[in-house]
Amino acid sequence: MSTYRPLKITFHLDGTGVYYDPFEPPMLDAILCIALARRQYHGEPPARDEQPFEFVLPLKKWHARGTWGWHASTLFPEPQAQETLVHWRKRLRQNRIEVVQGSPNLTNGVYRDWNMPLPLLLTRTLSGWCVAQTQGDSVGIAKRIRHELKRSVRWIGKKRSQGRGNVIGIEVEHTEEDGSIARDGKFTRYMPVADGVRLVRPRPPYWSNWNRTQCAEIGDVAEIGYLK
């Protein structure tokens, strides 16, 4: 018999900064799909307008307004996190290059110079909530999820090649609080509503155009008894 247990998953970072876009934050169920992709899907990923593969996750499903998704929130930084700005630079060593004829083009091509701003969030942790399907083993499901995440997830966010978003530890713990959909009266994930301002797929892959629906933004006020 399947039972469900709320879990809190915390990704511990090295503190050097992570590229965290608050308008498109990392979603916990999408990260679980990445961890399980090697076992469930083989081949090239579909295009944005092609029907995507539906992953099977050890999570509880929700159903609302003719669609469904997983009980899994986005990842939230710690409250005292601060923002900073660094620059991602590339410069041609003009004093080390020998050119007999002509000159390299520094505006495009392989010799292009750039100085791009990179916003970073200085946080030690990113935390999310989910409701796991225990199948009678409430202790083992936390260990299995941690094992899959620890094996596959070592970086979070963009510019991973620049050493940003390094995951140094993953903690999965049981909790009495279910923040997988709403917390403190506010949505913790995209949820379909009648007047939603965001048109997005309510489950991974979120970048797909397939089965998109009007959803509330993360942080919008959630109605009492939304799924009842």
Q: DSSP assignment of 80-102, as one string?
A: T-EEEEEEEEE---TTT---SSS
pLDDT number for residue 8: 96
pLDDT number for residue 226: 62
192 upstream amide cis, omega within 30 of 0: no
Measured CA to CA in angstroms, residue 1 lies from 139, 176, 215 at distances of 15, 21, 32
> Is the Cβ–Cβ distance between 181 and 191 less than 8 Å?
yes
pLDDT number for residue 40: 86
CA atoms within 13 A on the CB side of 69: 28
Using one digit for the tens of pLDDT, what is the confidence trace for 116-136? 888 999 999 999 999 998 876
**Across the strands, what pairs with 118?**
86
Task: Show me where the domains of the chain are located.
Answer: 4-81+123-184, 87-118
pLDDT number for residue 224: 64
Chunked into runs of 10 residues, the chain (228 residues) has average pLDDT values of 87 94 94 90 87 92 94 95 87 70 75 86 96 75 91 89 90 93 94 92 94 94 70
pLDDT number for residue 61: 94
What kind and span of H or E run contains 34? helix 28-40
Of 8, 3, 37, 4, give the one whose Cα is nearest residue 153: 37
Q: Which residue has the tokens 């109605």?
A: 223
CA-to-CA distance for 221 and 198, rounded, in angstroms?
Answer: 15
pLDDT number for residue 127: 96
pLDDT number for residue 167: 96
Using one digit for the tens of pLDDT, what is the confidence trace for 2-19? 688 999 999 999 989 999
Using one digit for the tens of pLDDT, what is the confidence trace for 165-186? 999 999 999 999 899 999 999 9
